[in-house]
Amino acid sequence: MGQGVVIREVIQDSLGAQIGMVSGDRLISINGQQIRDLIDIEFYQAEPEVVMIWENVKGERVEVSLEKDPDENLGLVADPPPIKRCPNKCDFCFVDQMPEGQRKTLYIRDEDYRYSFLYGNFITLTNLSEKDFQRVIEQRLSPLYISVHATDPDVRKILLRNDHAPNILDMIDKLIAGGIRLNTQIVLMPGVNDGEILEKSIRDLSARYPGVNSLAVVPVGLTNHRDELPSVRSIDMAYSRKTLKRLTQIQQEMNERFADPFIYPADEWYILAEKKFPSISRYGTLPQIGNGVGMVPLFESEWKKWIRRLKSQETPPPAFPWVMVTGKAFSGILKALTQLLEDRLPSWKGVFEICEVENRLFGSSVTVAGLLSAGDIIDGFKAYRQLRPREHPPIAGLLIPDVVLKADSEVFLDDGCLDDVREELGVLIHAVPSDARGFSYWFSQTVKSQESEWQPMVLSL
């Protein structure tokens, strides 16, 4: 493979298009700096004068100089770089708990600082070279997302099953000294990194605030596919309640100390403990939202805002009910929110029905909606249809949260697609935004505006 990065797309009317670049060209350098990936493009294009060298699709080398506003983008889109692999073998690694026969990319254990910066992927810093460190600091790749798990070096080596794992606090200090902010997480394993080990980790990380910007504590997730893997203790309600109580106490202490929550219990703790979620104000600036922390309170807050808008606009309800698909973890919450909608707007009674789908691909212990497969949804809706009272009105269709699909596609984890589900179930299906704000906008703009066209497609159950 030649030097530089292949440009997948050149945005229409952008600077890149104006100087003649097209899809398939290979960008070699900007201002003498070799281009390795899309991060380099973003970093080196932020100059008032740029000299670009690229190889066009004909194999000809082209050089162009141009003046621009430093904030003006060249309009060049490149694919993400080949991902670096993880050297660890954590007992709780979800990749190792995958069922057989899925697509190959699902079995990749990633550990790439570039993906941490670009997409919020959590990394352990166990494969970062000195050259990588220099690049992170030089290009200010901040924030990064770090899986700490334990600050005690010996415990961390056990958790990662990596005897060569470096001291995480030394690496964190080096990044902070370079001006990098870090959002961290601890995956909690009962009897391994909880108790005093957890307390020590929290003390060590909070002592580095605001360099360490936040800490999420997440319960270990287990699937039914742990053949030949070490035994890991599962988390029950009693353990969840005890842990949640302590984390909440620490969060209050951090608020008093920093005027910032700093530590965030994952949403799963509240669900496992069967405890009410705190208000969205307890989540600060939502620094861990990409980690799923605060998603439920945010959904609840945005849903209530939607109800207020519907009420103020006196919006008429749809003529036919829609069935919303979700997993066990969110089912009770979604039912409560739809009940709240009906209580505040009685004319909307029955507009939404909730289809709780069991995860058969990974096992019933996996309850989040984002890991449901096409097969799970097909089986789940068929079971729901059998139990649905015949006197209920026919449904308009099925609403599936977009988190179940591969990004920018209609493909599920098991490689089934939306068309497979439509064909098997014989109902109208839409993938919808999984956040309440996005969903409310989609519903009002799409369902309401096109409902008259869809009515003839309504199928009786």
DSSP calls for 136-193? HHHTT---EEEE-S-SSHHHHHHHHT-TTPPPHHHHHHHHHHTT--EEEEEEE-TTTS
Percent of the chain clearing pLDDT 90 (strictly above): 82
Gap between the Cα atoms of 196 and 88, Å rounded = 24
The residue ranking higher by pLDDT, 108 or 166, is 166
pLDDT band at 448 (very low <50, low <70, confident <90, very high): low
| Closest C-alpha among 346, 319, 323 to residue 335 | 323
Gap between the Cα atoms of 408 and 2, Å rounded = 28
pLDDT band at 235 (very low <50, low <70, confident <90, very high): very high
pLDDT band at 2 (very low <50, low <70, confident <90, very high): low
Q: Is pLDDT at 268 greater than 80 in this prediction?
A: yes
Up-side HSE of residue 107: CA atoms within 13 Å toward CB?
8
State residue 449's pLDDT score. Answer: 61
pLDDT band at 450 (very low <50, low <70, confident <90, very high): low
State residue 180's pLDDT score. Answer: 98
Q: Is pLDDT at 459 greater than 60 in this prediction?
A: no
Between the alpha carbon of residue 323 and those of residues 326, 427, 428, the distances in Å are 10, 11, 10
Chain segment 118-162, per-residue pLDDT in tens: 999 999 999 999 999 999 999 999 999 999 999 999 999 999 999
| Closest C-alpha among 24, 127, 132 to residue 78 | 24
pLDDT, average across residues 281-285: 93
Residues recorded for the chain: 461
At 265 the three-state DSSP class reads strand
Q: Which residues contact 352 (CB under 8 A, 6 or more apart)?
A: 321, 322, 323, 324, 338, 341
| Closest C-alpha among 78, 8, 11 to residue 43 | 78
The residue ranking higher by pLDDT, 390 or 277, is 277
State residue 104's pLDDT score. Answer: 79
pLDDT, average across residues 426-455: 81
pLDDT, average across residues 82-107: 86
Up-side HSE of residue 409: CA atoms within 13 Å toward CB?
10
- For residue 402, what are its two tokens? 């977009």
Residue corresponding to tokens 């969060």 = 251
Q: What is the pTM of this model?
A: 0.90
Highest mean pLDDT of the ranges 78-87, 93-102, 189-198, 230-239:
189-198
pLDDT, average across residues 46-63: 94
At 3 the three-state DSSP class reads coil
The answer to whether domain 297-457 has CATH 3.30.70 is no
Q: What are the helix and strand counts (H, E) for the chain?
A: 15, 15
At 408 the three-state DSSP class reads coil
Highest mean pLDDT of the ranges 65-74, 98-107, 147-156:
147-156
State residue 303's pLDDT score. Answer: 97
State residue 51's pLDDT score. Answer: 96
State residue 456's pLDDT score. Answer: 38
Phi, psi of 52 (to 5 degrees): -110, 135
Chain segment 181-217, per-residue pLDDT in tens: 999 999 999 999 999 999 999 999 999 999 999 999 9
Gap between the Cα atoms of 360 and 138, Å rounded = 46
Phi, psi of 128 (to 5 degrees): -85, 120
Strand ranges inside 255-321, DSSP E: 263-265
DSSP H helical segments within 314-393, as ranges? 328-344, 374-387
Bridge partners, 449 (sequence order) = none
State the DSSP string of 36-97: -SHHHHHHHT-SSEEEEEEE-TTS-EEEEEEE--TT----EEEPPPPPPBP----TT-SGGG
Domain boundaries, the chain: 5-78, 95-292, 297-457
pLDDT, average across residues 78-86: 90
- For residue 456, what are its two tokens? 């003839």
Q: Is pLDDT at 453 greater than 70 in this prediction?
A: no
pLDDT band at 444 (very low <50, low <70, confident <90, very high): confident
Number of Cβ within a 10 Å radius of residue 94:
17
Percent of the chain clearing pLDDT 70 (strictly above): 96
pLDDT, average across residues 321-334: 95
Q: Which residues contact 120 (CB under 8 A, 6 or more apart)?
A: 145, 290, 291
Angle between helices 295-313 and 328-344 (to 10 degrees): 20
At 234 the three-state DSSP class reads coil
Highest mean pLDDT of the ranges 58-62, 225-229, 390-394:
58-62
| Closest C-alpha among 38, 214, 240 to residue 122 | 214
DSSP H helical segments within 388-426, as ranges? 418-425
Chain segment 244-263, per-residue pLDDT in tens: 999 999 999 999 999 999 99
State residue 65's pLDDT score. Answer: 94
- For residue 143, what are its two tokens? 């924030």
The residue ranking higher by pLDDT, 335 or 94, is 335
Amino acid at 5: V
pLDDT band at 336 (very low <50, low <70, confident <90, very high): very high
pLDDT band at 451 (very low <50, low <70, confident <90, very high): low
Q: Which residues contact 43 (CB under 8 A, 6 or more apart)?
A: 139
Q: Is pLDDT at 460 greater than 60 in this prediction?
A: no
Q: Please list, residue by residue across 193-211, b when 16 or more beta carbons sit within 10 angstroms of its beta carbon and e when fewer do.
A: bbeebbeebbebbbebbeb
The answer to whether domain 5-78 has CATH 3.30.70.20 is no
pLDDT band at 266 (very low <50, low <70, confident <90, very high): very high
The answer to whether domain 95-292 has CATH 3.80.30 is yes
